[in-house]
Homo-oligomer: A and B are copies of this chain.
Amino acid sequence: MATDFATRMLGVESSSVRDLLKLTQRPEVLSLAGGLPAPELFDVPGLADAFDRVLRGPGGAESVQYTVSEGDPELRERLAELMLTRGIQVASEDVLVTTGSQQALDLVVTALLDPGETVLVERPCYLAALQLFALSGVRVVSVSCDDDGLIPEALAAAVREHRPKLLYTVPTFQNPTGVTLSLDRREQIARLADSERLWVVEDDPYGELRYHGEALPLLTSFGAERVVYVSTLSKILAPGLRLGWVLCPPSLREALTVAKQAKDLHTSTVDQRAGAEYLATGALGPQVERLRDAYRPRLDAMLETLPEVLPEGSRFTRATGGMFVWVELPPEVDALSLLSAAVEKGVAFVPGAPFFAEPGHRNSLRLSFVTLPPDQLHEALQRLSAAVMQLPQRLG
């Protein structure tokens, strides 16, 4: 970056992974890389009808006019209703609409964090959250996780040592690991947030995409005053509308609203109204059911096939929902080398290293099981297997 840019831009460069992934956009490459919902499952006719009713209805002109920063009142009402199905009772005024949940994170960072303050994250952590934290000049400290999510003892130790202002977590079907925080750990973390006056962002894009087992109560349901709940319609309806939302204490919501006003005035009025119109039809429930039914066999197929595909000594997470499975290859295997071989064979994934706040972890990678239809998913895993066969380490 040029020398007269802001200090925060130093070291923020287009990454080698980003460059590699551009190769994967070639049509012949089957991609397990992106966090993209399966496009063939979008309810496009339902969305087209919703936009149509909004734009051709009596509020048509209003639906393309400026609106308030807090969000369209109708959408806030529908999102409050949606939260009821997740076990949370809120008023529509408690909902702040954001331009995707990514913006919700930006607003929280703006309202809560001074440069140099410390944020705790999961190890590994959602990539674009790390990028946002880097841009914000905050200090990032990662906390150990296992197959039940964040390890409370490690978290408590990190809180004592680093006096963080905020913990950022994806408790359910985490990105990138697919892991879910267990019930007792949720309670422990909520208690810790209260006792240590620690802000906790519960990022919940995937919670409704459960394919096995029973839903767990949200972190925010344990009554801690400092849990900021963030969610989105991106994974359950469609990401292209950029509709996210935040639930948080009123004083923080006021601060987030002021920040939102300065950052983009408000989220697209027509998208908000169409989203509200869609939710009002009651079509989201069946749509999510349809996604679950389509994604479940994709997850099962991936988990079933991976032992045959991966090099000996690999480990992978047994996700029960969401979009991702996380792989740790044997220590001597570099995921970037494997990606080169894989792209040659016509399949792509994301190497795991960028999901970490610290260097290393070159033997890890993330696989998305939702984007490809079953036949292509099967073919992609075969190609991955062929790439693994080419690894020199296999000969050792």
Contacts and interface: CB of A to CB of B under 8 A. Distances in A.
Interface of A: 1-2, 4-9, 12, 14, 34-37, 39-40, 42, 44-45, 47-48, 51-52, 55-56, 60-67, 99-100, 102-103, 106, 110-115, 128, 131-132, 135, 165, 197, 234, 238-242, 251-252, 254-255, 258-259, 261-271
A270 B251 contact: no
A4 B196 CA distance: 13
A272 B278 CA distance: 20
5 contacts: A5-B255, A39-B65, A47-B55, A240-B270, A242-B267
A64 B241 contact: yes
A242 B263 contact: no
Given A5-B111, A5-B112, A242-B269, 20 more contacts: A2-B252, A6-B110, A6-B111, A12-B255, A36-B65, A36-B66, A40-B61, A42-B64, A44-B60, A44-B64, A47-B64, A47-B270, A66-B239, A102-B262, A131-B258, A131-B261, A135-B259, A240-B268, A242-B264, A242-B265
Nearest to A106: B263
A78 to B, nearest CB: 18
Given A66-B239, A264-B242, A6 B114 contact: yes
A33 to B, nearest CB: 12
Nearest to A63: B240
- Residue from A6, A37, A60, A241 with most neighbouring chain B CB atoms (10 Å): A6
A36 B214 CA distance: 48
How many chain copies does the complex carry?
2
A132 B65 contact: no
A252 B102 CA distance: 22
Contacts of A262: 102, 106, 128, 131-132, 135
Nearest to A104: B264
Contacts of A114: 6-8
A55 B65 contact: no
Contacts of A270: 47, 51, 240-241, 271
A135 B34 CA distance: 33
Nearest to A130: B262
A161 B149 CA distance: 55
Contacts of A66: 34-36, 234, 239-240
A8 B5 CA distance: 20
A100 B37 CA distance: 26
B242 A266 contact: yes
A263 B132 contact: yes
Interface centre among A36, A56, A110, A264, by most chain B C-beta atoms within 10 angstroms, is A264
Contact of A197 (B4, B61, B266): B4
Nearest to A108: B6
Contacts of A128: 261-262, 265
- Chain B CB count within 10 A is highest, among A99, A106, A132, A269, for A99
Nearest to A9: B255
> Which of A103, A261, A266, A270 has its CB near the most chain B CB atoms (within 10 A)?
A270
A241 B110 CA distance: 24
Contacts of A2: 251-252, 255
A268 B271 contact: yes
A65 B106 contact: no
Contacts of A252: 2, 5
